[in-house]
Structure 1
Amino acid sequence: MTLIPIVAWLEAAALVWMLSLVVRRPRDVRLRWITAMVACWSGNLPCILQAVKGEAFLGLDPMWWQFIGQVLVLTGAYCMVCFFAFTLLDERRAAVRAKRQALVLVTVLIVLLVATVIMPADMRLIGARLSSYQDPAARGVASIALFYTAANAFMLYAEVTAAVSTGRAVRHAAGWFRRALLITTAGSATLVVVCVIFVLNGALLFANINLPTAIQLTAVVLLLPGCGLFFLGITLPAAVTRVAAARIWLRHRRAYRDLAPLWTLLHAEFPEDALTNRVPTDPRLDRFRLTGVHRRFYRRVIECRDGLVRISPYVAHLRGDDQRGAETPAELAQQLRRALHARAAGIDVEGPAVPIASPATDGFDADVSELLTLASALPPVGASAR
């Protein structure tokens, strides 16, 4: 029981996170389905706990709370199936499949509603607590057997659909996505075994027969690993993406700081080139935004390159007829300082811009690498980085 509050907090945190993603990407159909799944399964736990508690609440007896909890569980399973459909199929085929499976869900929910309504009054508490407490008195009660058999059968249907869908997609996937699908398939296959046992257990209630204890224990033992593998497979692609994003964030943050010596020299001479003068931002808020690192990094790279273009005629004048340019970054750094001193002294130099610290290959990363090499050749500056 000590794990229940932890699970509840984890579900609430996951729901808040998923809702924040939906707000940022409202057109992502797959994200909406997976968020709906998390919402249903987050709301299920309080209802099931209220049912197991065996007390009426808000005018509803425990069996009605069990019904509401099962509705949320099965609706979450339906959302899971739709998530896989919209992930692995084109939108038109996925929409058709979602509508077809919605009919199955509605049929099962009607069965649960009928079973709840017709359940004898003296059996309702036993039926409500049956998901946690196996009471021998429930054996032979048709409405209880119908309720749990229908619910477990739909869960079995959902897990089989998930296992088949991901298993087929594995053949066409590669990299981390393939591994995620394999893990999800393994989790779904494990949960299929669990659901089969649960369906048998519910069906045998009709015949007033107990399922062997060893088989029941098998379901209990497999349930947690199956759920763990399933959720690991679903979240693995997002986790890999987040790790990659974190690496890029760290690289941009490091480069932003390493460019400080070069940027400080150029900004002191060309303050009017600062992009903040053209697109003002609140620096106090920008410091607390994780994405602000990327903005400041790109801004600093652009400002450094603009400054080098503006000072390049002075560097060309210092080189004179020497067409070799600077052989090493240290020589180029020395020329850059002399050129900046000359401009600061009021010396006018006419001439076109010339390449300075130009990369050997095309691409933004190559340009940044050259700027970092030049910045590393400059001595550290006392001015703080913006």
Structure 2
Amino acid sequence: MLIIAVAVVWRLYLWSRAPHDAPTRSVALAFLSLGLSYPVAMPAGTAGIETVAGDDMAKLVQNLLVLLTCYFLMCFYLYSADGRATRRRARREAVVVAVIAAAIAVAAATEPDRALANSFSKADMTISQVAAFYLIAGLYMMYAIGAAGWWSARYARMSRRPHATGLWMTAIGLSAMAVACAVRAVFVAVRFSGGLVPQWLTTSAAILLVVSSLLFAVGVTYSGVSARITATRLWLRRRRDHRRLTPLWQLLIEVYPGNELRAASRMPWDRWRARGVHRRYHRRIVECRDGLVDISPYLVDGQDETDLLRLEPVELARRLRRASAAIRQGVQVPPRAVPLAVPQGDDRDSDVEQLIAVSEALRLTA
């Protein structure tokens, strides 16, 4: 229930961010239908529905929700193809699931009193309405889930990690669910004809159905959760690097206050939002680099530029302190900017590492 609930909330959140995206809407509705089917199947949910709607209606509602789950899952793949033919097929599939829903509703309405009250393993399958109820629903679930599993495996072969990993988990979960539905349909046929199915086989099929459902839920949410974990790690690293740059930033802003860029937002929660953290991080890097350009003429002192490029962070930190003291005293030097704290690589991470090394040296030599 917890895994399903998290998946439902996550998918509804994604739908709220893209309300007109048909594939996103389909997955959200599939998980919502699946999530609602669980409390309906619980004793309290069953008692509440049957008190209002009558005997065996909870079983009907639960199976209708499961049928909707299968239909919306199929719609996700159909809408992902994004073609007129697939959209027409989605409408045809809606007619099919409506017919299936009507058929099991008729079976539930015409069955003897409380014939559907028992679980699948204890239901009297010799009653034609009960057998039809489980067989029709099971065969449609096998068809829809099997098709979705085939599409998942197809897209998994075309994708890269982490999407491929999530799709393979989804494909395996759906395939196992389709197998479980097929096995249960065979059980219905055997019991309808008067045969007996060992209890351990029925229990094994039920366990396979539950486990495969959970695997499907994990697979569908895997790529999104993986992306969020990666984003959280980046958020934490940039908050830490922002703090580590503080000594260098403070020294440079004190002597060149005009280099401080205007904050995009003064709201207190902007310090914690992902966008605010990334914005403040990049702004601090720019401010530090601008300050180093402005202060660099005070470090030349008759030396060759190549000597400054070879300075260790500790020595550069000492010279920066002396230069900032000279600026406060009003010392004037010829404007001759030279590069300082040049990174080894040409990417942003190398640049930040070099700035942090100088900033840490400033903090230690304070």
Give the counterpart of 1:375 among 355, 359, 364.
359
> Corresponding residue for 2:277?
293
Q: What is the identity, as a one-letter code, of the residue corresponding to 1:285?
A: W
Give the counterpart of 1:325 among 301, 308, 314.
308
Following superposition, the deviation at residue 161 of structure 1 comes to 0.8
Residues 51 and 62, structure 1, Cα contact 8 Å, conserved in 2: no
> Corresponding residue for 2:348?
364
Q: Does 1:73 align with 2:57?
A: no
Change (3 A) 1:131 1:179: same
Q: Does 1:280 align with 2:269?
A: no
Give the TM-score of the pair, scaled to structure 1. 0.82
Give the counterpart of 2:15 among 2, 16, 22.
22
Following superposition, the deviation at residue 222 of structure 1 comes to 1.9
Q: Does 1:134 align with 2:122?
A: yes
Distance, in Å, in 2 between the alignment partners of 1:50 and 1:214 is 24
Give the counterpart of 1:43 among 36, 41, 46.
36
Q: What is the identity, as a one-letter code, of the residue corresponding to 1:185?
A: A
> Corresponding residue for 1:4?
none
Instruction: Give structure 2 stretches of 5+ with no counterpart.
Output: none
Q: Does 1:218 align with 2:207?
A: no
Q: Does 1:342 align with 2:326?
A: yes
Cα displacement string for residues 157-189 of structure 1 (whole angstroms, at most 9, x for unaligned residues):
122112211222343334433333333232222
Q: Percent identity?
A: 32
Distance, in Å, in 2 between the alignment partners of 1:321 and 1:139 is 94
**Count of residues in correspondence between the two structures:** 365
Q: Does 1:238 align with 2:215?
A: no
Distance, in Å, in 2 between the alignment partners of 1:306 and 1:94 is 55
SS of corresponding position for 2:202:
helix
- Greater Cα shift, 54-63 or 145-154: 54-63
Q: What is the identity, as a one-letter code, of the residue corresponding to 2:87?
A: A
> Corresponding residue for 1:165?
151
Q: What is the identity, as a one-letter code, of the residue corresponding to 2:321?
A: R
Change (3 A) 1:58 1:287: farther
Q: What is the identity, as a one-letter code, of the residue corresponding to 2:289?
A: R
Cα displacement string for residues 196-219 of structure 1 (whole angstroms, at most 9, x for unaligned residues):
122223344543544343432331
Cα displacement string for residues 323-374 of structure 1 (whole angstroms, at most 9, x for unaligned residues):
5324222232222222222222222334253322233443322321221222
Cα displacement string for residues 224-246 of structure 1 (whole angstroms, at most 9, x for unaligned residues):
33223322322222232223223
> Corresponding residue for 1:101?
93
Give the TM-score of the pair, scaled to structure 2. 0.86
Residues 305 and 338, structure 2, Cα contact 8 Å, conserved in 1: no
Distance, in Å, in 2 between the alignment partners of 1:364 and 1:26 is 36
Residues 40 and 61, structure 2, Cα contact 8 Å, conserved in 1: yes
Instruction: Give structure 1 stretches of 5+ with no counterpart.
Output: 1-6
Following superposition, the deviation at residue 85 of structure 1 comes to 4.1
Change (3 A) 1:29 1:306: farther
SS of corresponding position for 1:171:
helix
Distance, in Å, in 2 between the alignment partners of 1:290 and 1:32 is 25
Q: Does 1:144 align with 2:130?
A: yes
